[in-house]
A and B are shown apart, each in its own frame.
Chain A
Amino acid sequence: MVIDCLMLRDNIVESILGKTTQKRKSRIPAKLDFLQSATGLILSIFITLHLLFEASIIFGKDSMYAITKMFELDFFIEGGSPIFVSILAFIIFAIFILHALLAIRKFPRSYREYLRLRTHAELMRHSDTNLWIIQITTGFILLFLGSIHLYTMLTQPANIGPFASSDRVYSDMFWPLYLMLLISVVLHAGAGVYRLIIKWGWFDGKKPKENRLKNRKIVKIVTVIYLIIGLFSLITYIKIGYEHQNSYGERYKVTSK
Chain B
Amino acid sequence: MSDTHAQTVAFVRETQIPPSAPPVTEAGVIKWVRENLFSGVFNTVLTLIAFYVVARFAVFVFPWFYNGVWEAASRKECIDILREAGKQTGACFAVLVDRWDHLVFGFKYPPDGYWRILVSFLLLVVAVAPALFANLPRKMLFFTALYPFLAFWLIWGGSLWLPVAILGLIIATMLVFRLISSQISVDIRKIVSAVIGVICGAGLAYLLYIGAQELVFIANSVGTEGLISGIAYGVFWIMAIFAFVFCVPMGIFVGYAIYNSYEDGGLVSIVASLLFGYLAFVYLLGPIWMALNAVIPIELQAVASRDMGGFMLNMLLGTICVSLSIPLGILLALGRQSPMPLIKGVCVVFIEFIRGVPLITLLFVANVMLAYFLPPSSNFDLILRVIIMITMFSAAYIAEVIRGGLAALPKGQYEAADSLGLDYGQATRLIILPQALKISIPGIVNVAVGLFKDTTLVSIISMFDLVGMIRGPIQNSTEWTSVYWEVYGFGALLFFVVCYSISQYSQWLERQLNTSHH
- A is bound by B: no
